[in-house]
């Protein structure tokens, strides 16, 4: 299928004479989530659909979780149904039916979904189509997730001949009747994820776990725990770096820069702790474009962002020309200054990739623009830094924290603002160390390191000394340029 998936495709699969289904009724209790996942995985194996198992079984458990969390008040023993339908060579449909007629979560375009609808975040990014419909008996709703299976075998084993159980027929007909009305839907064209998607660690999800959030899986938590063994102070360093990034955005917005390009944005934080939150709190007219190369990150932002002043896009930072030509970046006005955020991004690029990206940004950015960089440091705790590199290497991920000298070398063609390089200490109190020797910044005698990362605030070089960007542009000789801490005090 090359056309856009619609509800009609969903109904055709459910009503196809070639389709087979299986269904299981479960009590509305937490332990039922694992049972639902095992049931779906078993059916897919029986039908020869092993390739679809990781994504489909995971979606079934997330839908079951939503059914349990949104059960009718006081109905502790209320049952819900899990059904899976397979049309050979065409589609798989996973459905969960419960007795609560309300929406499974708030609409996907509302930011509250970030905290109240984690399960459907995953569904909207994995499934080709999803919808929620009222049951024909008026007793609740059915949430359906549709997966294309063009490459799944059209000749499954004899287990395919399983008949449709009566309970399954009831659940299917209750959701698929032509009289059913759609409550809400999200079409993403995402398709089934590769089998290793949730069995391998993802850097955004590992950072999400280190930050204490919930969007992560076993593989991410395993790596996260190993990272903490190598550097017990890492959680504190991650929190300090995020705080510094938020404060930098706020300062820049108050100084007159109201356009932000957040490269390598990572997974969204809780409401009120994202780039657009800090920017709009300081300057309500701020515009933010989020960019990441991880499709799941982009799916999160796509579901969360609400206004026309916020955009997201997927792009590869190792291809800067394609990145800067992305249509989403046209949302930024290049006749006015832009702040580019590279917060904890460059450690995932080698020196050559970093120089290419920085050169492309420098050529693309308008006069008065600013580059904000937060970068993991090796100077404060060299032994722990080496341990972090080793943990990531064992997970198949290349990680490159850098020393002060290595970081400065990357910015030789930029005008580094006063105070230059800021060491972001673990106690979240700002310490300026732009020109101090590295030895004075290190922890001593095995004590907890003073800081975990560096922050750089740099300007696009301007030979004409244009001062169109107040607070961050170059100043005439003898004038005092405020530091970040000074700007915050103002």
d(CA 311, CA 289) in angstroms, rounded, equals 5
38: its two tokens: 């095992």
Beta-strand relationship, 184-187 and 20-27: unpaired
Specify whether the CB–CB gap between 319 and 349 falls below 8 A. Answer: no
d(CA 17, CA 303) in angstroms, rounded, equals 35
pLDDT of residue 488: 42
Specify whether the CB–CB gap between 260 and 338 falls below 8 A. Answer: yes
CA dihedral 261→328→124→211, nearest 10 degrees, is -10
Helix then strand count (H, E) for the chain reads 16, 14
Q: What are 160's strand-pairing partners? A: none
Q: How far is CA 390 from CA 225, 286, 460, in A?
A: 13, 40, 35
| Total Cβ atoms within 10 A of residue 461 | 11
Q: What are residue 342's phi and psi, to 5 degrees?
A: -120, 70
**Residue environment code for 226-261, b if the CB has 16+ CB neighbours within 10 A, otherwise e:** bbbebbebbbbbbbbbbebbbbbbbbbbbbbbbbbb
- Ordered domains of the chain (ranges, CATH): 7-187 (3.30.565.10), 203-489 (3.40.50.150)
**Residue 452: CA atoms inside 13 Å, Cβ hemisphere, count?**
22
31: its two tokens: 């332990």
Specify whether the CB–CB gap between 371 and 342 falls below 8 A. Answer: yes
pLDDT of residue 474: 33
* Strands ordered across the beta sheet of 20-27: 20-27, 79-87, 91-98, 141-148, 129-134, 184-187
157: its two tokens: 């084993």
Computed on alpha carbons and rounded to an integer, the radius of gyration of the chain in Å comes to 26
133: its two tokens: 């419909």
Specify whether the CB–CB gap between 61 and 35 falls below 8 A. Answer: no
**Distance separating the N- and C-terminal Cα atoms of the chain:** 59
d(CA 139, CA 193) in angstroms, rounded, equals 33
> How many angstroms from the chain centroid is the CA of residue 257?
25
472: its two tokens: 């961050």
d(CA 78, CA 467) in angstroms, rounded, equals 66
Specify whether the CB–CB gap between 372 and 341 falls below 8 A. Answer: yes
Specify whether the CB–CB gap between 20 and 74 falls below 8 A. Answer: no
d(CA 87, CA 18) in angstroms, rounded, equals 6
pTM of the predicted protein model: 0.61
**pLDDT tens track, the chain, 490 positions:** 346 788 888 999 999 999 888 888 888 878 888 888 888 888 888 888 878 888 888 788 888 887 777 665 555 556 788 889 999 889 999 998 887 766 554 333 333 333 344 556 667 777 888 888 887 777 778 888 898 876 443 333 332 222 223 333 333 333 333 333 233 333 333 444 444 556 788 899 899 889 877 677 788 889 999 999 999 999 999 999 999 999 999 999 999 999 999 999 998 887 778 999 999 999 989 999 999 988 778 777 776 676 677 888 889 889 999 999 999 999 999 999 999 999 999 999 999 999 999 999 999 999 889 999 999 999 889 999 999 999 999 999 999 999 988 998 998 889 886 556 788 888 654 433 333 333 333 333 445 677 899 999 999 886 554 434 433 333 323 323 234 444 344 4
Q: How far is CA 250 from CA 142, 218, 259, 272, in A?
A: 44, 35, 12, 12
Looking up tokens 């609740």, which residue turns up?
140
Q: What are 432's strand-pairing partners? A: 422
Specify whether the CB–CB gap between 71 and 100 falls below 8 A. Answer: yes
Looking up tokens 């194996």, which residue turns up?
45
266: its two tokens: 């990572």
d(CA 291, CA 307) in angstroms, rounded, equals 16
d(CA 386, CA 379) in angstroms, rounded, equals 11
d(CA 42, CA 40) in angstroms, rounded, equals 5
d(CA 213, CA 221) in angstroms, rounded, equals 11
455: its two tokens: 């922050």
pLDDT of residue 241: 93
146: buried, middle or exposed (CB in 10 Å: 19+, 13-18, 0-12)? buried
Comparing CA positions, the residue from 75, 81, 88 lying closest to residue 47 is 88
């Amino acid at each position: 299928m090359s056309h856009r998936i619609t509800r009609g495709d969903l109904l055709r699969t459910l009503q196809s004479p070639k389709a087979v289904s299986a269904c299981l009724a479960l009590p509305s209790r937490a332990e039922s989530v694992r049972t639902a996942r095992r049931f779906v995985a078993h059916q897919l194996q029986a039908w020869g659909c092993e390739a679809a198992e990781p994504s489909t079984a995971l979606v079934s458990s997330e839908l079951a979780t939503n059914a349990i969390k949104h059960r009718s008040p006081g109905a502790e023993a209320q049952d819900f149904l899990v059904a899976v339908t397979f049309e050979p060579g065409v589609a798989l449909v996973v459905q969960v039916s419960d007795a609560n007629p309300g929406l499974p979560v708030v609409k996907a375009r509302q930011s509250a979904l970030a905290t109240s609808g984690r399960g459907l975040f995953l569904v909207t990014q994995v499934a080709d189509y999803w919808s929620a419909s009222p049951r024909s008996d008026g007793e609740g709703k059915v949430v359906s997730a549709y997966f294309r299976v063009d490459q799944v075998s059209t000749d499954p084993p004899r287990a395919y001949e399983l008949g449709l159980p009566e309970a399954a027929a009831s659940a299917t007909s209750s959701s698929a009747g032509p009289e059913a009305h759609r409550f809400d839907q999200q079409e993403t064209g995402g398709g089934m994820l590769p089998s290793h998607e949730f069995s391998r660690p993802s850097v955004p999800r590992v950072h999400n776990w280190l930050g204490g959030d919930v969007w992560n899986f076993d593989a991410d938590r395993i790596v996260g725990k190993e990272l903490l063994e190598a550097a017990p102070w890492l959680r504190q360093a991650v929190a300090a770096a995020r705080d510094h990034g938020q404060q930098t955005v706020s300062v820049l917005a108050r100084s007159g820069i109201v356009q932000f390009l957040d490269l390598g944005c990572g997974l969204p934080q809780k409401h009120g702790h994202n780039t657009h939150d800090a920017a709009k709190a300081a300057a309500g007219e701020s515009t933010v474009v989020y960019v990441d190369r991880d499709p799941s990150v982009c799916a999160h932002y796509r579901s969360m962002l609400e206004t026309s002043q916020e955009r997201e896009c997927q792009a590869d930072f190792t291809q800067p020309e394609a990145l800067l030509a992305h249509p989403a970046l046209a949302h930024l006005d290049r006749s006015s200054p832009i702040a580019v955020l590279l917060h904890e991004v460059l450690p995932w690029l080698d020196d050559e990739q970093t120089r290419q990206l920085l050169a492309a940004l420098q050529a693309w950015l308008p006069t008065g623009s600013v580059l904000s960089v937060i970068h993991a440091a090796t100077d404060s705790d060299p032994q722990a830094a080496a341990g972090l590199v080793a943990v990531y290497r064992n997970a198949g991920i290349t990680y490159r924290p850098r020393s002060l000298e290595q970081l400065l070398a990357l910015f030789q063609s930029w005008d580094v603002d006063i105070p230059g390089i800021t060491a972001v200490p673990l106690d979240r109190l700002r310490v300026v160390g732009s020109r101090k020797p590295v030895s004075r910044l290190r922890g001593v005698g095995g004590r907890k390191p003073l800081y975990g990362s560096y922050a750089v605030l740099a300007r696009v070089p301007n030979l004409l000394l244009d001062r169109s960007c107040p607070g961050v542009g170059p100043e005439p000789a003898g004038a005092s340029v405020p530091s970040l801490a000074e700007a915050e005090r103002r």
